[in-house]
Amino acid sequence: MNRLEAIRVLLVEDEAGDAHLVKMKLRQAQCGRFEVTWAQSLIEAQRCLAASPFDVMLLDLSLPDSEGLATIHSARVMAMGTPIVVLSGRGDTDFALTALEAGALDYMVKGDFGYDGLARVVRYALLRTEMEARNNLLITALEAAANGVVITDKDAIVIWANPAFGRLTGYSPEEAVGHKPNELIKSGVQNKEFYQDMWADLLAGRHWRGELINKRKNGSLYHEELSIAPVKNGAGEITHFIGIKEDITERKEMEAQLQKLASTDPLTGLFNRRVFLEQLEQEAAKVARLTHYSVVLLMLDLDFFKRINDTFGHDTGDAVLKTFAEIVRNNSRAIDVPARLGGEEFAILLSGADKKDALSMAERLRQQVSEIVIDHEAGPVQITVSIGAAALLADDKNGEAVLHRADAALYEAKDRGRNQTYWSCF
């Protein structure tokens, strides 16, 4: 409230002497200016409230038309949020507490106002009302927030959570209170060091932000962006933590899809040419750096593939490519890089493999491909594959050198009749 504005007081008091004392004390106040309207009953107070707004009500509990705590209850209904300060002749602490529980904001004993005491109580009542309104506004904002908000004590035990926390985790705010978040939603995906680093920052008083995978009440996993802020008291000690949680599962899935589109061949699901060439350069650098590290490149080309497209159609050709890619995928190790370079041309980068390993895998692939039969109305479709193999050499300047050797070996295999593997001797 503007300090220059008069505070509008509705005094509800049936004793003229007490009313005169209240008005005199407020007139003499040094901490503000007061405009007092006097009503001698609840009915009269109701008419005053209907005619004009007031900032505070000073209420005697013994009135001609009401008595005791019922006066507070009736006044609260009439005042509709206007703060009520009870004026009573009873200096009874228990009764004062009962009056506060009934809805009064403060309690004063008549005749015991002290110097400027009544005026200060009125102003404090207004200040508390403003603070409560502000707090209610903030709580409403947090309750309505789209992101999950959780407040814990210094031991990370939840003392409050908003509805969005419940929608995100599956645990209602009531279920979360009294538990640590890691007791409810920890997925086990992040290792111990992840949490140690996080708590090192938080206990040092630093704001922490990061991404992690958590687990909902139903057991499903979700991606979360989490921001945690330590809250300190006047002595600089951490008393609470406030966490803000945003569900980024959809974003992470979209990123993964975009990454897949950027790195894989859409028809076969194998790596595309760009990713393969990047991996080839990395492997070439490792071979040049590490004396005992070996890598072999297999180049694969489906024999007479154009004839299949021309005879059986492109749909059948696509089916052949996908079937072949599945064989390549099933025979590749987790560390290998199988890729479709274009058309019917494929390659596999065999990390850590030697000549014997590579030729064994190539022969297994060749045999499995020769056994493929795809049914078609025009007759069965059978294919074979020619394979060229070459090792990465320490003196290769880049991946292009081994590509040329493996490609030359592939064409040697074709020249020798197809459906076979040829090892580059260069």
pLDDT digits (tens, 9 = 90+) for 315-360: 999 999 999 999 999 999 999 999 999 999 999 999 999 999 999 9
Nearest to 147 by CA among 249, 221, 247: 247
Q: Where in the chain do CATH 3.30.70.270 domains reside?
A: 264-423
7-141 CATH, one of 3.20.20.70, 3.90.199.10, 3.10.20.440, 3.40.50.2300: 3.40.50.2300
Predicted TM-score (pTM) above 0.85: no
pLDDT digits (tens, 9 = 90+) for 23-81: 988 888 777 789 999 999 999 999 999 999 999 999 998 899 998 899 999 999 988 88
pLDDT at 419 over 90: yes
Distances from the Cα of 340 to the Cα of 5, 17, 273, 274, 330, angstroms: 80, 100, 6, 10, 15
Q: Where in the chain do CATH 3.30.450.20 domains reside?
A: 145-252
Q: Using 50, 70 and 90 to split pLDDT, how confident is the model at 1?
A: low
The answer to whether the CB of 278 falls within 8 A of the CB of 286 is no
pLDDT at 2 over 60: no
Q: Which position has the token pair 């295999």?
A: 413
264-423 CATH, one of 3.20.20.140, 2.60.40.10, 3.30.470.20, 3.30.70.270: 3.30.70.270
pLDDT at 270 over 90: yes
**Cα–Cα distance measured from residue 386 to residue 5, given in angstroms and rounded to the nearest whole number:** 94
pLDDT at 222 over 80: yes
Question: What is residue 81's predicted lDDT score, i.e. its pLDDT?
Answer: 84
The answer to whether the CB of 381 falls within 8 A of the CB of 365 is no
Tally of CB atoms within 10 A around 381? 18
Question: What is residue 92's predicted lDDT score, i.e. its pLDDT?
Answer: 74
Tokens linked to 91: 């200096």
pLDDT at 91 over 60: yes
Find the Cα–Cα–Cα–Cα dihedral 219, 220, 222, 226, rounded to 10°.
-10
Question: What is residue 96's predicted lDDT score, i.e. its pLDDT?
Answer: 81
What is the CATH code of the structural domain delimited by 145-252? Answer: 3.30.450.20
pLDDT at 278 over 90: yes
Please state which of the ranges 87-91, 117-121, 262-266 shows the lowest mean pLDDT. Answer: 87-91
**Cα–Cα distance measured from residue 15 to residue 62, given in angstroms and rounded to the nearest whole number:** 10
**Cα–Cα distance measured from residue 385 to residue 347, given in angstroms and rounded to the nearest whole number:** 12
Q: Where in the chain do CATH 3.40.50.2300 domains reside?
A: 7-141
Percent of the chain with pLDDT over 70: 98
Please state which of the ranges 129-143, 179-193, 300-314 shows the lowest mean pLDDT. Answer: 129-143
Render 272-311 in DSSP notation, one character per residue.
-HHHHHHHHHHHHHHHHH-TT--EEEEEEEETTHHHHHHH
